[in-house]
Homo-oligomer: A and B are copies of this chain.
């Protein structure tokens, strides 16, 4: 039974299993992962380049699942389109925060961000952002989305209400917590960025 008639593994199977395993709260370790797959560790190496390859497989699976190949529908104004596009990335991230943290440690080999960037560029052109600010603005949106998603990883009580004084101490007790806090923060940040872009364009054009 050294070689089964049908392969028990594939890059996709390994990637998906790793995502499940990691999001369940486990560290990514190949021995237990292989066990979960009903296979020995060494088998993984026929499909994936070691531990790093597993992480890339995870990314591959998530992108295939979340990021559509075709451009999205183009209705609505530029701000709507930005929101819709970023929402996709946001979902990918926040549905798999622990996988996201892992992906941070490996070099990305697939330039799949291309379509996402392209959509954002087109939306910003429509918004009237000057050429020499467009890519930088796209990067800003990207960085914020990323940072906001990672924020979901940090434990809730970074700030102990008891130790805070002044206005901060006054505001902390009534503040949102958990996923709701994280989501509200993301929405508000996107609002501020869009508002900032709009205001900047308005001022420049008169």
Contact = CB atoms under 8 A, between A and B. Distances in A.
Interface of A: 101, 104-105, 107-108, 111, 113-114, 117-118, 121-122, 125, 131, 133-137, 139-140, 142-148, 150-151, 153-155, 158-160, 163-168, 171-172, 175-176, 181, 184-186, 188-189, 191-200
Given A117-B168, A158-B113, A185-B136, A150 B196 contact: no
Q: Which residue, A104, A140, A193, has most C-beta atoms of chain B within 10 A?
A: A140
Copies of this chain, complex-wide, total 2
Contacts of A158: 108, 111, 113
A140 B189 contact: yes
Contacts of A181: 136, 139
Contacts of A118: 164-168
A148 B185 CA distance: 16
Chain A residues touching B, majority SS: helix
Nearest to A136: B188
11 contacts: A113-B159, A114-B168, A121-B166, A140-B148, A140-B192, A143-B151, A144-B147, A191-B196, A192-B192, A192-B196, A192-B200
Given A167-B121, A195-B199, A185 B140 contact: yes
A159 B111 contact: yes
